[in-house]
Structure 1
């Protein structure tokens, strides 16, 4: 699919441009994004009657994760699980929920097999004398298939550094867990035009450490949009996602750029998910507060239907 972009810097109240834009990044604001590999696109430019395709730049399945963070009680989670078990979910979506560690067993033993379970964090190596930490082995023992790493709250509240997060991801992958690898810029970094610089640096820390990208989903979460009610516009999110995919193409491989799912997080809800999902490089969502409401989370999962283009 041919992709074009108007000059977003003139449309957005918070700019995306780096201080010293390279010709490549500066061309993001031009009329054509022709430097991106057209092979990464799934072309739907030649319509044929009665055919439906998913208009996604990546070749992976739509992915929606629910990060419950430090929320919930046994009773509230029982109700949430009942809502999720009764929800009608589109079949062509990978759906994952990440409860607090103490409730993983409750969730895993009662939630439908349609929904996989993730940890919210894991230790950088094998378990042992690390008070308060959670090991990859423990997550696997409880039936988890995924772990969220590099979330902004771990970076900016707990103080985890890029290299440490990359090592965590490498260990989790080596032990067979999928990784939801979070990246994203602070408000002051965006206002300073450093969005690309920050995101590429965080992405590089994963690339320098991980043995393979086969079980990685990248979650772009602008920190200024997490839990604030402020959401990156579809155009803002798409511009960053397409730049991330191009970075993967140039620094890892075209195959990884095509296969790796890049999802968006940051105040996603049932009211804005459909418009965000329409963007070609947005391959799903990592959802915070709205994932605690079963019917609304189902609406977000089912926003995959806005990606379906009759052709």
Structure 2
């Protein structure tokens, strides 16, 4: 009964997403390098002085066996691979489809913007999510990229050049420290610029959920104001009864991700969805999540 009750709640929340199937958050990954540097605000950035223990909580991740395989198969049958994992916080349990895929580490793509935004704010590379970041005039395929940006607009529209440029002001050792601190996937930044884009850094869906839980409860001991700003950027929709937070990620090679959490009056639910199919669209993982929710709700 608790599983059914959770699923119905999850369905109601996801169905409330505005523009679920026509999200403007397109992520055509552009590999052009940016030579211009963003000026660091007066006072420079503060380097991390206190050593933090890595957050390791995988032993607490209890995920039940696949129990809705037959019901969910139609939503994924037209794609090479697909998986969804949902974890509710009160019991640390959840449900999954194709659980074996949830343990495979893969590129985080633009979902890494959650952690990279924390890094940029913690290190004071930018001091506010609405600070203007000048566009250098380079023409990109995504029209929304061809303008001055802020962290708010760059997060919403997955503007890759902004994050590449800003993160170039953070040395590798500092970035590695944040990956260690959050126990983020394989912690590998050897791919250089854009290491989170189909490169060296990889993380599984289960690890994504563990990271999101650590972020939500600030188990990493970041500045709480920074956490609140990042949550603000992740906020997709809200009512009096719930708030939905999330970030998509996709690549031209067919990987599509949707990760986040839902706050309700009863619980917090962490979720991660993965689909692999070329030419499937930039938001297919999000669309499948919505379709699953609608089907279960209408039953």
Report the TM-score, using the length of structure 1 for normalisation: 0.32
Would you tell me which structure has more helix in proportion to its own residues?
1
Instruction: Work out which structure has the larger RCO, using CA pairs closer than 8 Å and 6 or more positions apart in sequence.
Output: 2
